Structure 1
Amino acid sequence: MDELLKQKIPPYIYSRQNSIKLILWTAFFALVFINIYKPFNSPSWYPVSEFKFFVFSSLVILTGVLVVVISRIIMYHRGKKHDITAGRYGVWILLEILCMSLFYTIYTLSLNPEREWLSAFKESAINTSLVLLIPYFVLHLLFAYQEKESRLRELEEGNAETTRKQEVISFYDEKNELRLSVRRDHLLYLESADNYVCIWYLNKGQLAKFMLRNSLKNMEEHLASTNILRCHRSYMVNFDQVKVLRREKDGIYLELGIEKVPDIPISKTYSEKATHWFMTWSS
């Protein structure tokens, strides 16, 4: 229980926007509450028509809600500098109830001096608790739901941004300088050539090659989280482009189904991994 009371409340509870919502909703609820439920012996306040009672009660409610306005302004500025724990927040709400109860008690006694003050305060405390706690409870549920939706949207947008970035494959030379960026769906395969790596890709529908000074081993590490997989001592293939895996007497080959692109061999060292990868991603 102590740990729960020491936990920090989420900043969205006392943010500027949500504080304004809480004040307006509390004022509206209090106005409806006092005109329908008629607490504090309010019908005896003014021997007037329903409409005039509504006008007078509105002024009283707005004056009482001023307590909430002042309280939330103080909370907003304090929350910027200090953490507000659940325990302190609970005490804060109790103080709001106490202050409003005193206000309505004084107002009731000023209109009806014959009433006993303790009885008037008790009634004011009960009704003020309803006026504040009901809208507070509803709004805190709403704030929590909106915060959850906001975080989900941020997560989805972040995933979309990550996916977008992953659609482009960047290649760096041995000095870690960016030399080439290719859309993943245009990249075909990589071929080792001494101290270079030949990057084969499609450019305007035509087969193109870029020579990068680096090793295939470094490329394998760089592309470890992609579908570009090592299948041979001299080759890495974009498995998004592989159409056919063919087994011949002399070994296994990958067909990309693109004109002028040769079949890519799979060596025994990589055969199990490459075959499994192709069967997994092609299903």
Structure 2
Amino acid sequence: MAYLNNFLLKPFPLLDETKDKWRLIIFMGLFVVVFMNLFVPFDADEWPYANKVIGFLALSGYGIFGAIVLLFSQFVLRPLLGLRTFTYGSFLLFVISEIFLLSMVMYFIYGEKMQSYEQMVGEFFLAAKYTSLVSIIPYTSVLLFTSAKKEQEKLKSYTLQHQQRQQEVKEHLLSFRDENEKIMLTIKRDHLLFLKSEDNYTAVYYLTQGKMKKKLIRTNLKKLESENHHAHLLRTHRSYMVNIQNVETINRTQKGYNVALRQLQEMTIPVSSGYKKSFEERMKF
């Protein structure tokens, strides 16, 4: 019982948007017009029509009047009843009321009026039966199509968000490749301290769990500089690049500067005269 109550109270979003309502109305109208004229169900071919045109219009009226009723129920009745959004329970009750309303309209337009009370009730239930049988296929088809459409939109949105998250993660990482283009190290950008050229290698100094680590990569500093476009990674010397995010102190020298990093106060990184100007511009002296 509790499961049933939870199910009936779950949101039913398939007919909340205006475009979904119009899809239901238009498809229902067109389907019924085609169905009635193509299959001529319920012995409609025996009805007395003056000519084929009148017969076509009469049969098409099922779809036209049905679309008008749905237009009224979706855009007038729902707001009046405060049903701008559905739960499964309210949707089922509303569909029953729509079928009842459609049946009433079809009975008053097509049903025989000069009958006894019992015959009128029987005629109405016959109209309700026919209306339900004709309506269930297009109504269900639209709901299935709308459900598939929304699932596709969800999947597309999820894929886009996943790609955005991957891009955000990628933007916060630095990868260092060796001379054979093999990735030797990937770290967070703000964990990088500095790079130092050492003969045929480049030493990458970085933080991991609060401690400095060193990784030797067989490549040159110029290649790493061209591959890692990091806004805070700055060349300060022919043998050094430094992450200026981690600069703690700057001391002027005769030719340039010496910088000390926040996590590495015991050693300094030189800024040579050739890189002094770009360093000053980036550090906004």
Are 2:219 and 1:216 aligned?
no
1:61 counterpart residue number: 63
Q: Mapping of 1:142-221 within 5 angstroms?
A: 142-169=145-172, 184=175, 198-200=193-195, 216=207, 220=209
Assess if the C-alpha contact under 8 Å between 1:105 and 1:117 holds in 2.
Answer: no
Count of paired positions: 207
Are 2:218 and 1:257 aligned?
yes
Tell me the secondary structure at the aligned position of residue 172 of structure 2: strand
Are 2:102 and 1:100 aligned?
yes
Q: Shift of the alpha carbon at 1:17?
A: 0.6
For 1:28 and 1:50, how far apart are their aligned partners in 2? Answer: 19
2:213 counterpart residue number: 235
Change in CA separation of 1:16 and 1:124 when aligned onto 2, cut-off 3 Å: same
For 2:157 and 2:96, how far apart are their aligned partners in 1? Answer: 35
For 1:148 and 1:105, how far apart are their aligned partners in 2? Answer: 38
Change in CA separation of 1:127 and 1:166 when aligned onto 2, cut-off 3 Å: same
TM-score, normalised on structure 1?
0.59
Assess if the C-alpha contact under 8 Å between 2:28 and 2:63 holds in 1.
Answer: no
For 1:23 and 1:139, how far apart are their aligned partners in 2? Answer: 9
**What's the C-alpha RMSD, in Å, of the aligned pairs?**
3.9
Q: Shift of the alpha carbon at 1:101?
A: 0.7
Q: Which amino acid aligns with 2:218?
A: G
Q: Which amino acid aligns with 1:142?
A: F
Q: Which amino acid aligns with 1:235?
A: K
* 5+ long unaligned stretches in structure 1: 171-182, 191-195, 222-232, 238-253, 263-283
TM-score, normalised on structure 2?
0.59
Tell me the secondary structure at the aligned position of residue 40 of structure 2: coil
Q: Which amino acid aligns with 1:87?
A: G
Tell me the secondary structure at the aligned position of residue 92 of structure 1: helix
Describe the superposition over 1:148-179 as per-residue Cα deviations: whole angstroms up to 9, x where unpaired. Answer: 11111111111111122222237xxxxxxxxx
* 5+ long unaligned stretches in structure 2: 178-182, 225-238, 240-285
Larger Rg: 2
Change in CA separation of 1:82 and 1:25 when aligned onto 2, cut-off 3 Å: closer
Change in CA separation of 1:105 and 1:87 when aligned onto 2, cut-off 3 Å: same
Q: Which amino acid aligns with 2:136?
A: L
